A = this chain, B = another copy of it.
C-alpha cells in the first residue's frame, strides 16, 4: 500500500475506530455500527474504502452473515523533525494462510502438555512486546542524535561556506546525494550558478560526484567513519 493512502485512511476518526475494533476481533456491520454509534450506511462506506485499500477483508460465516477482519500486517513510521519528514510503510510478512505447510508452525509440539505450551507462548508474547518497546526507545534515541548531529553540521557549514549558495548546496547534499537538476529545482537557482559553486566545493574537497543509473549525482565527500 502507498503510505500516503494509509495516512488518508487513518485521518478519519471513525475509520480508526473501525480498525481498532477489527484488530480486536472480526465484526459484522451491525456490531460495528452499534459499537461506534454510527449509522450502518456510513460504516458500510468506510468498510468499502478499507477493503478497497486491502486493509480489511470480509468472510461469510455459517449463518451467511458477512464479517470483516484485518487482512494486513504492517507498520507505518512517520518522523517529523526540523530537518526531516519521512514516512515509511513496511509490509510485515504474514502467513496465516500458509501456516499449515510450515513445519515449525505446528500446534502443540509432541510430548508437551497443551496447557504448559500455552503458558510458554504467553511468556513469549510478553517478551516480544518488551523487545518492541526497547527498540522503539532506541529509535527515539537515534532520532535525537540525528537532530543533534544535524544541528552541528549546520554550524559547521556556516564556518566553511563562502557564500549563501554554498551554504544551501551543502545543506541539500547533507540530506541526500542528488543531481544537478534537482539542486537547481529545489534551490530555484540557475544551473550555471549551481555548477560554479559545485566545482569550487569539489576543489576544496567538500563534495564529489558519482554516476548512478547513468546520471551524475553529487554528494558530500565520503571519508571513513571514525565515530565511537
Contacts and interface: CB of A to CB of B under 8 A. Distances in A.
A190 to B, nearest CB: 18
A156 B114 contact: yes
Interface string A18-32: 011011110000000
A119 B159 contact: no
16 contacts: A23-B80, A23-B81, A23-B83, A73-B144, A76-B77, A77-B77, A82-B96, A92-B140, A107-B155, A118-B159, A119-B206, A120-B226, A121-B152, A124-B225, A125-B149, A128-B149
Contacts of A145: 128
Contacts of A226: 120, 123
A55 interface: yes
Given A124-B149, A132-B143, A13 B23 contact: no
Contact of A81 (B20, B94, B95, B227): B94
Contacts of A127: 225, 227
A147 interface: yes
Q: Residue among A83, A93, A118 with the most chain B CB within 10 A?
A: A118
Nearest to A186: B24
Interface size class of A (residues with CB under 8 A): 35 or more
A164 interface: no
Interface of A: 4, 6-8, 10-13, 16, 19-20, 22-25, 55, 69-85, 87-88, 90, 92-96, 99, 105, 107-108, 114-115, 117-129, 131-132, 135-136, 138-140, 142-153, 155-157, 159-160, 170-171, 174-175, 186, 204-206, 220-227
A45 to B, nearest CB: 16
Nearest to A152: B121
Given A4-B16, A75-B139, A151 B96 contact: yes
A49 to B, nearest CB: 13
